Structure 1
Amino acid sequence: MTADTVEPDDLAAPNAGVPIARTLEAILMVADEPQSLVSLATAVGAPVAAVRQAIETLVADFDGVEGPDGRPSVRRGFELREVGGGWRFYVREEFDPIVRDFVLTQNPTRLSQAALETLAVIAYKQPITRGAIAQIRAVNVDSVVRTLLGRGLITESFTDAETGAINYETTDLLLTHLGINSLDDLPLISPLLSDGTAGFDDGSV
């Protein structure tokens, strides 16, 4: 290591005494949306350059790349991936079928009322972000969205290039469960809602 090179794990998050790389790992573990380098730097109170180095260290660590000591780390079942200008943990593609089967067998057959209401919002307003769903329902929907993703009823459609927010849409599996051929077959929502319900004023899919 040269005099002007800083090893990410040698940098400690302010007032914590914890290496930045491990602090970022903890933050990203609970983040539901991709996090930009700037937002991560703000969260740990460190320079963007240091955060970038720490992210590179984590990526290599999780990928099982040979480390400074010449020994490779264990390749993890998840990866740290950059999507839409932000960083987020994802299950490695080769494990998707196993994880999907596990989630399906672990979850009860029936959806909760909260999950059904969230699914309805997505079905009628897709593509839609988690924040927009929460605004319509006026509650936190993070866990419900994760449940619907795990059940295969919704999927991540795309990531907004400007905000980094993930947009969600329903899958063909939902159509199968509903017994319809397309979203055009969904009934108009307006007659089913009480007056003043926000977010569905157009009454269309």
Structure 2
Amino acid sequence: MNTQLKNNIESLLFISHKPLSIGDLTKVTSSTADEVKSVILEIEQEYQTKAGGIEMIRIGDKHQFVTSSESSEAVKKFIKSEITGELTKPSLETLTIIAYRGPISKAELELIRGVNCSVILRNLLMRGLIEAKEDPKKMIVFYSITFEFLKYLGLSKIEDLPDFEKLNRSNNLDKLLAGPSGEAKEANVSEEIIEQKITE
């Protein structure tokens, strides 16, 4: 058994917001389809035989981790609190960057913020404030704001955000996203703009 490959696939299935195919996992892990299928089968058997709060489901040739039916009530309660609760400062910062610079990838977001954004992105997706679309050629997911976000702020279009043209075309951010040599004085886009609109 390839323990590292198994660990990698489990991690990918855990962080992904959508089911992953054998092809997806093969490309990301630089493994063969047979190797991935073998590991997937092993993971499936492991989660079928142990009692826990996480299950693995198969949809065609795609796989995903989901919460168990026994935990449904606790999960519903948590999701409700996550969706209806106030946005945290890190969430506001992430949402602001997506609003002004989207569509933007997770890697670009984390380059700007300097921290992992997986949990925050999942929360914003659950709230319906952002959406994720995959570029089939690049195999990269890009995030952008939704109509729900605009309604949340009482705006008719994204260009109505304060200083949108300036921040959307920030040369410093372009340098940062192009490589580590660029200095990004404006990379920390102030979430106060979004927060002010929300609390108005």
Give the gaps of 5 or more residues in structure 1.
Answer: 1-11, 65-75, 93-97
For 1:132, which of 103, 108, 111 is the aligned residue? 108
SS in 1 for 2:144: strand
Letter in 2 for 1:131: A
**Aligned residues, how many?**
164
Give the gaps of 5 or more residues in structure 2.
Answer: 49-53, 68-72, 175-185, 190-200
Identity, % of aligned positions = 23
Matched, 1:50 2:35: yes
SS in 1 for 2:115: coil
The alpha carbon displacement at 1:82 in A equals 8.5
1:69 corresponds in structure 2 to: none
1:37 corresponds in structure 2 to: 26
Equivalent pair of 1:153/1:170 in contact (CA under 8 Å): yes
1:115 corresponds in structure 2 to: 91
Letter in 1 for 2:105: T
User: Residues 107-146 of structure 1, C-alpha deviation per residue, up to 9 Å, x if partnerless?
Assistant: 5621111110100111111111111111122222122111
TM-score normalised by structure 2 residue count: 0.58
Equivalent pair of 1:134/1:141 in contact (CA under 8 Å): yes
Quote the Cα distance in structure 2 between the aligned partners of 1:36 and 1:169: 24
The alpha carbon displacement at 1:36 in A equals 2.8
Correspondence 1:57-76 to 2 at 5 A: none
Q: Mark the structure with the bigger radius of gyration.
A: 1
For 2:149, which of 171, 174, 177 is the aligned residue? 174
1:143 corresponds in structure 2 to: 119
The alpha carbon displacement at 1:31 in A equals 3.2
State the superposition RMSD in angstroms.
4.4
Shift in CA distance, 167/196, structure 1 to aligned 2, threshold 3 Å: closer
TM-score normalised by structure 1 residue count: 0.57
